[in-house]
């Protein structure tokens, strides 16, 4: 089996695991929607993640996404594993001590942060957000250890433990939320928050056995002078800056959203979760699967192979996400009804949530490609360039929020995110092409055109099918399930047939992910 096929198979496995994990994630969101609806309690819960997420990405996310895997992969590729373990140990120790210190400070300053974050909240909702934030601040330290473990295993091209961990993570939240949450008590939503902390611990523990199998060697050292540690710090710095600045975009979004009708932030959050579903299942899985190989190819200066890997990954996510985007636009109402409309979440909430979902969905393919392109830069151990471009795109997104929130309310906040993603994607394409001299643009454009044509034909068919069947089965839960499942099946079959007749290479790549061999 070739390296390309191994990557595609790995991506297929990660997609399957992500699909299960995301399904459980929506079971969790659906459970919460049924218990608490779209209220101030759910706004507080979603707001409570902002500070813990900020700390995680400040000290961990940038290191893992941009520096840790490329540097460790380089040590492995050059047969210097012992040296690599010393670098890993130093990074773990630095990260753990720094994160613990910041978590303690964040616990103390949580009330001030929440007040600045959502000044439009009522005093009761602010108090609840502070309480939930302090619970969730237990998560980053555990998640950091889990992330480091995942980074080590991914460097050895072992992906299944972290994939299983994400499934168990969501399962833990569902169990805890089911046990402790009570629709009559807003503060009982904390059951979901405790589930997050427990889920993070389970996510870490399930990866430990595999970590031991690859020969983990830990050293109680902190060596800032080691070249590998210096390289990780230097590569991480721009990503840390980017993620920190990105929180400013989140703050602006929350600040503007908190002044809208109560529940607007929750509508944005639910629709964002739906929009992120295909990005998380498909694009992120492909990005994670190809990153170690990109890092290895860059370390060994295999330029031709590197370009082919980047091009193949981009074309595959275009092929997958274009029809998904069209399908979600056409079927957004039955999709929301199936996942969220029950209990306290009523038809009006579905109408409100469908608005930002429409605008988010326009940017699915751009967001998917953004999961691939920055990793190409990171593999080349160039992190400043994508960060600079990301800051420009973020500035465009923030400016768009102020411009669009007045005419489109919470829909404008969603559209601003899409505008920023498209700008970010285009800037990354242009910059990477200048750096490498070429980016296989002709094949990428042809894939985009063919995928759009096939998806358009699919979308028209699905639209008319749904319009014919919905009056017959109704808009209740069961009727929406029938409309959604039948339409999705028809759409998938139509898109598959058309792209196979077009003899698209990406069709074969997609079949390889499913473990099937095809020949045009």
Summarised one tens digit per residue, pLDDT across range 416-453 is 999 999 999 999 999 999 988 888 889 999 999 999 99
Averaged pLDDT, 96-110: 89
Residue 12: is its pLDDT beyond 80? no
Q: Which residue's entry shows tokens 């975009």? A: 249
- The answer to whether 177 and 191 have CB atoms below 8 angstroms apart is yes
Task: Please indicate, yes or no, if residue 311 is contained in any of the structural domains.
Answer: no
Q: Does a structural domain hold residue 181?
A: yes
- What is the structure's pLDDT at 519? 45
Q: What is the pLDDT of residue 516?
A: 55
Residue 14 — pLDDT band, cuts 50, 70, 90?
Answer: confident
Q: CA 499 to CA 505: how far, in whole Å?
A: 9
More confident residue, 446 or 509: 446
Residue environment code for 25-42, b if the CB has 16+ CB neighbours within 10 A, otherwise e: bbbbbbbbbbbbbbbbbb
423 within some domain: no
Q: 168-206 burial by CB neighbour count: b if 16+ within 10 A, else e? A: bbbbbbbebbeebbeeeebebbbbbbbbbbbbbbbbbeb
What crossing angle do the helices spanning 3-36 and 160-180 adopt, rounded to 10°? Answer: 10
Report, as an integer, the average pLDDT of 255-263.
76
Question: Which residues fall within 8 angstroms of residue 161, CB to CB, at 6 or more apart?
Answer: 149, 150, 153, 206, 207, 209, 210, 211
Instruction: Note the pLDDT of residue 467.
Output: 93
Does residue 403 register a pLDDT over 80?
Answer: yes
- Check: CB of residue 449 under 8 Å from CB of residue 299: no
Query: Widest CA span of the chain, in angstroms?
Result: 71
Q: What is the mean pLDDT of the chain?
A: 84
For the ranges 119-123, 392-396, 405-409, 511-515, which has the lowest average pLDDT?
A: 511-515
Mean pLDDT for the stretch of residues 159-173:
85
N residues, the chain: 520
Domain range holding 231? 39-245
End-to-end CA distance of the chain: 19
Report for 63-72, 211-220, 295-304, 459-468: range of highest mean pLDDT? 459-468
Q: Can you give the pLDDT at residue 401?
A: 92
Per-residue pLDDT reduced to its tens digit, 348-378: 888 889 999 999 999 999 999 998 998 888 8
Question: Does the residue 89 lie in any domain?
Answer: yes
Q: What is the 3-state secondary structure (H, E, C) of 3-31?
A: HHHHHHHHHHHHHHHHHHHHHHHHHHHHH
- Residue pointed to by tokens 């498909």: 282
pLDDT surpassing 70 at residue 162? yes
Place of tokens 């890993």: 88
Confidence of residue 512 (pLDDT cuts 50, 70, 90): confident
Q: How many domains does the chain have?
A: 1
How many Cβ atoms are within 10 Å of 418's Cβ, its own excluded? 22
Residue 185, beta-bridge partner list: 182
Cα distance between residue 125 and residue 483, in whole Å:
37
CA pair distance 415, 136, nearest whole angstrom: 29
pTM score above 0.95: no
Distance of CA 273 to the CA centre of its chain: 9
Q: Are the C-beta atoms of 427 and 393 separated by less than 8 Å?
A: yes
Q: Is residue 16 part of a domain?
A: no
Helix (H/G/I), strand (E/B), else coil: 185: strand
pLDDT in tens, 187-244: 778 888 898 899 999 999 998 888 878 777 778 888 888 888 888 878 777 777 777 7
- Mean pLDDT, to the nearest integer, of 138-166? 82
Closest CA to 55 of 109, 116, 115: 109
Query: What are the backbone dihedrals phi and psi of residue 185, each rounded to the nearest 5 degrees, phi first?
Result: -130, 105
What is d(CA 109, CA 397) in angstroms, rounded to the nearest whole number? 28
pLDDT, position 260: 78
Region 387-398 average pLDDT: 91
In a domain, 27, yes or no: no
DSSP 344: T
pLDDT at 325 over 90: yes
Is the pLDDT score of 291 beyond 90?
no
| pLDDT band of 318, cuts 50, 70, 90 | very high
Q: Is residue 233 part of a domain?
A: yes
Let me know if residue 86 belongs to a domain.
yes
Residue 182 DSSP SS3:
strand
Give CA–CA dist 70/62, Å, rounded. 12
């Amino acid at each position: 089996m070739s390296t390309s096929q191994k990557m595609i198979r790995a991506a297929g496995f990660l997609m399957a695991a992500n699909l299960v994990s995301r399904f459980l994630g929506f079971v969790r969101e659906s459970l919460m929607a049924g218990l608490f609806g779209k209220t101030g309690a759910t706004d507080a819960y979603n707001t409570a993640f902002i500070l813990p997420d900020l700390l995680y990405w400040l000290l961990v996310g940038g290191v893992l996404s941009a520096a840790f895997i490329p540097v460790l992969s380089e040590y492995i590729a050059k047969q210097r594993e012992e040296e690599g373990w010393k670098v890993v140990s130093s990074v773990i120790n630095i990260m753990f001590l720094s994160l613990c210190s910041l978590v303690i400070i964040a616990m103390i300053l949580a009330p001030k942060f929440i007040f600045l974050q959502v000044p439009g909240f009522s005093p009761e909702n602010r108090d609840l957000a502070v309480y939930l934030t302090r619970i969730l601040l237990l998560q980053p330290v555990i998640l950091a250890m889990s992330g480091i473990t995942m980074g080590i295993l991914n460097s050895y091209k072992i992906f299944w433990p972290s994939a299983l961990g994400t499934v168990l993570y969501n399962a833990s939240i569902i169990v805890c939320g089911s046990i402790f949450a009570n629709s009559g008590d807003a503060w009982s939503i904390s059951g979901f928050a405790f589930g997050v902390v427990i889920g993070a611990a389970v996510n870490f523990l399930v990866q430990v056995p595999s970590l031991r199998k690859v020969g983990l060697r830990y050293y109680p050292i902190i060596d800032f002078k080691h070249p590998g540690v210096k390289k990780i710090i230097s590569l991480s710095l721009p990503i840390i800056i980017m993620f920190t600045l990105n929180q400013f975009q989140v703050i602006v979004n929350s600040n503007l959203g908190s002044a809208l009708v109560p529940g607007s932030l929750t509508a944005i959050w639910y629709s964002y979760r739906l929009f992120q579903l295909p990005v998380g299942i498909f694009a992120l899985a492909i990005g994670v699967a190809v990153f170690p190989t990109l890092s290895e190819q860059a370390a060994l200066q295999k330029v031709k192979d590197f370009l082919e890997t980047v091009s193949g990954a981009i074309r595959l996510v275009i092929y997958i996400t274009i029809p998904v985007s069209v399908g979600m636009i056409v079927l957004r109402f039955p999709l929301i009804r199936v996942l969220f409309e029950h209990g306290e979440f009523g038809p009006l909430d579905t109408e409100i949530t469908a608005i930002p979902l429409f605008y988010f969905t326009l940017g699915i393919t751009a967001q998917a490609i953004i999961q691939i392109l920055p990793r190409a830069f990171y593999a080349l151990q160039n992190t400043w360039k994508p960060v600079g471009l990301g800051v420009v795109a973020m500035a465009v997104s923030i400016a768009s929020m102020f411009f669009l929130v007045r005419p489109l309310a919470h829909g404008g906040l969603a559209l601003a995110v899409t505008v920023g993603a498209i700008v970010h994607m285009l800037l990354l394409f242009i910059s990477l092409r200048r750096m490498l001299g070429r980016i296989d643009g002709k094949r990428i454009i042809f894939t985009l055109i063919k995928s759009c044509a096939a998806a358009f034909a699919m979308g028209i068919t699905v639209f008319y099918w749904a319009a014919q069947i919905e009056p017959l089965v109704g808009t209740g839960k069961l009727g929406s399930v029938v409309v959604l499942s039948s339409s999705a099946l028809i759409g998938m079959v139509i898109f598959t047939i058309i792209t196979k007749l077009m003899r698209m290479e990406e069709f074969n790549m997609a079949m390889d992910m499913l473990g099937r061999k095809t020949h045009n």
